[in-house]
Amino acid sequence: MRIAVNGLGRIGRLVVRAITLLQDSRLELVAANSLAESDIIAHLLNYDSTHGKLTNRFQYNNNYLFNSTSKISLFRQSKPETIPWEKENIDIVIECSGKFNSKNAAIAHLTAGAKKVIISAPCENADATIIVGVNDHLLNSNHNIISVGSCTTNAVALIVKILNDKFGIQCGHITTVHAYTSDQNILDNSHKDFRRARSCFTSIIPTKTGVSTSLKEVIPELANCLDGSSVRVPTSNVSLIDFTFYSHKTLTVQSINNEIKESAKLANMKDILDIAPAPLVSVDFNHSKFSAIFDPYETKVVGKNLGRIVAWYDNEWGFVHRIIDIVKIVELCCRDER
């Protein structure tokens, strides 16, 4: 698969890093598009404050980003339809700019010659929203605009599906305690969300999350049963979900913990669900590839049917690896149907 990345912000650069480090022959990263200056792109790929330095460092020259194992054509176009994807024979564009998160907008990549688009965000009217370990079996070669949801949706949906399949969820509320993101302000400044307008370093900031909307798409039987909210905190990476739910079946702390621990052993959960080995803190999960790391030390049950669980997730590195997993699944679907 010939792959391109549109948008080289936090997620886009980490996609480039991850594919480069994987050295998987199925994933040929050949092009990228970004409005940022080429030299700063190379520098930020090589040196990351959260995820460390690359040893196989990128350089930029003659419209290419390259290191000893990769050569990536670099374009600087503001409109997807003007990027020469057809000339580059692109199979999949990973859309990471944050600007083309609807089918109507993302289809411009197909107009430019790409065969598929995978969007690193919730997407309005996508052909499919796919969460690895939850509904990835539904992906087929007819899906051309594919959303991978959000980092939070990937963490939450995994846990919610396990609990719903075993205990039956009547209703629930998800709180995400989330690291700050580039959408927030370092110092107080204008923003459409009054609270996100405030400095991300000095406050705990309540804000909105679209996780309940995304969950309706991937676990439709729980539509209108779940809601969610988010609290942004002054840490640079790693977030957690705090999920309180009311079940149909009787709960105990042991039954919840055992069910999730057994699920983590399943073959289809390998590399996406892990169990915290000790009472740890957020920094201990930095650079984790898992969608969610369940924390059995935080499970609570009140009465017979009210449960509460906590799971951690690296909202950058873990999410990036789910994007790449979807690329691999698309490649397999297309190969099987040739």
Percent helix, strand and coil across the chain, each rounded to 5?
30, 25, 40
Average pLDDT, the chain: 96
pLDDT, tens digit (0-9, with 9 covering 90-100), for 276-313: 999 999 999 999 999 999 999 999 999 999 999 999 99
Assess if residue 145 is contained within a domain.
no
The helix/strand/coil state of 142 is coil
Domain identity same for 84 and 203: no
Looking at the fold, whether 114 and 180 belong to one and the same domain comes out as no
Based on the fold, state whether residues 104 and 189 are members of the same structural domain. Answer: no
Q: Which residue has the tokens 């690359």?
A: 54
Residue 329 inside a domain? The answer is no
Binding residues for D-glyceraldehyde 3-phosphate: 150-152, 181, 209-210, 232
Contact 73, 32 (CB under 8 A): yes
Q: Which residues are annotated as a binding site for NAD(+)?
A: 10-11, 120, 315
Task: Judge if 299 and 200 occupy the same domain.
Answer: yes
User: In the numeric block, which tokens belong to residue 34?
Assistant: 């970004």
- Give just the sign of the alpha carbon dihedral 75, 79, 84, 90: positive
Element (H, E) at 153: helix 151-167
Say what the pLDDT of residue 281 is.
99
335: confidence class by pLDDT, cuts 50, 70, 90: confident
CA angle 325, 331, 333 (to 5 degrees): 105
Give the count of domains, the chain. 2
Residue 333's pLDDT is 86
What are 67-105's pLDDT values in tens digits? 999 999 999 999 999 999 999 999 999 999 999 999 999
Domain co-membership, 159 together with 19: no
Claim to verify: residue 116 and residue 156 sit in the same structural domain:
no
Residue 325 within any structural domain of the chain: no
**Per-residue model confidence as pLDDT tens digits over 231-257:** 999 999 999 999 999 999 999 999 999
- Residue 145: name the closest of 168, 120, 167 by CA: 120
Residue at which a domain ends, from 68, 103, 121 = 121
Residue 210: what pLDDT? Answer: 83
181 and 301 inside one domain? yes
Residues 296 and 171 in one domain: yes
**CB neighbours of 268 closer than 8 A, spacing ≥ 6?**
133
Q: What is the pLDDT of residues 154-199, one digit of tens each?
A: 999 999 999 999 999 999 999 999 999 988 999 999 999 999 999 9
Position 212 confidence tier, pLDDT thresholds 50, 70, 90 = confident
Asked whether residue 144 is domain-assigned, the answer is: no
Both 107 and 220 in one domain: the answer is no
C-alpha gyration radius of the chain: 20
Per the annotation, binding residues are 10-11, 120, 150-152, 181, 209-210, 232, 315
Q: What is the CATH number of the domain that holds 45?
A: 3.40.50.720
Q: At 160, which CATH number?
A: 3.30.360.10
Report which of 103, 181, 118, 75 is spatially closest to residue 320, judged by C-alpha positions. Answer: 118
Q: Which residues are catalytic?
A: 151
Residue 117 belongs to what domain range? 2-121
pLDDT in tens, 2-20: 999 999 999 999 999 999 9
Q: Are residues 155 and 296 both part of a single domain?
A: yes
Same domain, 106 and 244: no
Average pLDDT for 147-158: 97
C-alpha pair distances (Å), 60 with each of 67, 80, 331: 9, 22, 29
